[in-house]
């Protein structure tokens, strides 16, 4: 059997093409069932995310080319897209390259943001859907479970996912460094920028207890506060209410700063010098850089956060090299298992034939030795088993060694010919 991938991703296809062939939760199972209905596809599953649509299959080694054509045809027909529109963006892989790719995808080494955590869950969901549709078998079951264990190794043995690589996550990371635990902290959100909202959501998921929203349009503040189950305040009460906040995220469209050193100095005094963390995601900036001069105040603007992100991306790149070493080693182990499967039926057939010969000849001999005691009869039988095992040891070992080297085909063929083992 051969493992085959047909797919397209953010590296080969623009978003408008990826959208046309994506699978939703609603039509995924139908897609998987249609996929394995292709004559040359023995097993199959579909991974569909915003960045990739990849089809993993197992097929006969003799039918790889037919399978490629059938899978591309399935993709085009299922989504009613002209095949010629997909062809320039499609890639295919098989064998060792294919196994390594699946391990890298599950480990997020092939993701747009290396180390992002979502892809492993998406691959697991794809496998779960295919398995429940009975579209996977020995090959893909083993391959995907191996991919999950490789991803686990990569995450536990490298630091590929430990540092933030988005502005919003970087803000959370910095907040944790300042406060240690975020449990029970209060965030004030000023304005309604997308990144500020995202940062607020991440802070909430990391233990922040309450969100206060201030917006020049009070109705918008109320609406946003309802989303966070927080509270809204009029914009002109900003300075008075700020003392309640441990973290302030500002993202307005104001042409000049709206928070200055004097305002923050007064606030920190009312807070009795309890630390405050300011995140300014606005351009132009909402917060005067001089607020950093106030004791126990930590203010970061968009450039500071991007600097943190850039440093973390470099760290992840270094860790990705370590992760690649893990992937290469695991690919070798999986290929050994695949190759051993090629020689396994021959080994079984050879043993069955030899055992039949042994039993037949032993029965003939025993008929001529009727006076033999039970103990001696067992000794004779043990001797025939020992002879059989020693004779078979060399051809079986030779087949296993050939499988390990990847050239088992010739050796297995020779053994089958010598012992007249039929396919």
296: alpha, beta or left, given left = phi > 0 and alpha = psi -120 to 50? Answer: left
Quick one: CA dihedral 341, 34, 39, 12, positive or negative?
negative
Beta bridge partners of 189: 213, 249
Let me know if 50 is a catalytic residue: yes
* Residues in contact with 238: Cβ distance below 8 Å, sequence separation at least 6, in sequence order: 190, 214, 258, 259
311, exposed or middle or buried, with CB in 10 Å at 0-12, 13-18, 19+? middle
CA angle 403, 407, 412 (to 5 degrees): 70
Partners of 214 in the beta sheet? 190, 233
Q: Taking a C-beta distance cutoff of 8 angstroms, is the pair 154, 221 a contact?
A: no
Q: Which residues contact 116 (CB under 8 A, 6 or more apart)?
A: 108, 161, 165
Hey, CA dihedral for 141, 142, 145, 147, is it positive or negative? negative
Do the bridges between strand 276-280 and strand 231-234 make them parallel or antiparallel, or are there none, so unpaired?
A: unpaired
The Cα 145–Cα 158 span in angstroms is 20
Residue 362 CA to residue 357 CA, distance in Å, equals 8
Asked whether 183 and 209 are in contact (CB, 8 A), the reply is yes
* C-beta of residue 247 within 8 angstroms of C-beta of residue 203: yes
Sign of CA dihedral 140, 145, 149, 155: positive
Check 38, 50, 98, 129 and give the catalytic one.
Answer: 50
Sheet with 43-48, side-by-side order of all strands: 43-48, 52-59, 2-9, 91-94
C-alpha to C-alpha distances, 177 to 157, 267, 292, 322, nearest whole angstrom: 23, 22, 16, 26
Catalytic residue ranges: 50
């Amino acid at each position: 059997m051969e493992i085959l991938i047909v797919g397209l991703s953010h590296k080969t296809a623009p978003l408008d093409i990826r959208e046309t062939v994506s699978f939703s939760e609603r039509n995924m199972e139908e897609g998987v069932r249609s996929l394995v209905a292709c004559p040359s596809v023995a097993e199959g599953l579909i991974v569909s995310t915003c960045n990739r649509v990849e089809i993993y299959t197992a097929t006969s080694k003799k039918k790889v080319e037919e399978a490629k054509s059938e899978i591309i045809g399935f993709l085009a027909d299922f989504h009613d897209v002209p095949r010629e529109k997909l062809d320039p963006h499609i890639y295919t892989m098989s064998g060792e390259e294919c196994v390594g790719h699946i391990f890298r995808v599950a480990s997020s080494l092939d993701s747009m943001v290396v180390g992002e955590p979502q892809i492993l869950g998406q691959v697991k969901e794809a496998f779960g859907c295919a398995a429940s549709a009975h579209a996977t078998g020995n090959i893909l079951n083993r391959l995907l479970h191996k991919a999950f264990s490789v991803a686990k190794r990569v995450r536990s043995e490298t630091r590929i996912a430990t540092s933030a690589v988005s502005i919003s996550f970087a803000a959370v990371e910095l907040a944790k460094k300042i406060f240690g635990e975020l449990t029970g902290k209060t965030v004030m959100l000023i304005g309604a920028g997308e990144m500020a909202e995202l940062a607020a959501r991440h802070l909430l998921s990391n233990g922040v207890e309450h969100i206060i929203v201030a917006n020049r349009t009070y109705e918008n503040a109320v609406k946003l506060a309802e989303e966070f189950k927080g509270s809204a305040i009029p914009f002109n009460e900003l300075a008075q209410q700020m003392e309640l906040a441990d973290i302030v995220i500002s993202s307005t469209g104001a042409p000049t700063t709206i928070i200055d050193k004097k305002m923050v100095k007064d606030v920190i005094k009312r807070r009795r010098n309890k630390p405050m963390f300011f995140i300014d995601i606005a351009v132009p900036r909402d917060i005067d850089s001089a607020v950093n001069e106030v004791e126990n105040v930590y203010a970061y603007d968009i450039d500071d956060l991007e600097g943190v992100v850039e440093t973390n991306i470099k760290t992840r790149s270094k860790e990705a090299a370590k992760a690649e070493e893990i992937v290469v080693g695991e690919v070798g182990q999986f290929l050994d298992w695949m190759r051993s499967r090629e020689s396994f039926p021959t080994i079984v057939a050879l043993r069955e034939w030899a055992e039949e010969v042994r039993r037949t000849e032993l029965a003939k001999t025993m008929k001529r030795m009727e006076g033999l005691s039970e103990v001696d009869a067992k000794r004779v039988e043990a001797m025939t088993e020992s002879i059989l095992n020693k004779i078979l040891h060399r051809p079986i070992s030779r087949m296993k060694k050939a499988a390990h080297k990847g050239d088992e085909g010739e050796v297995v063929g020779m053994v089958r010919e010598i012992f007249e083992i039929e396919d």
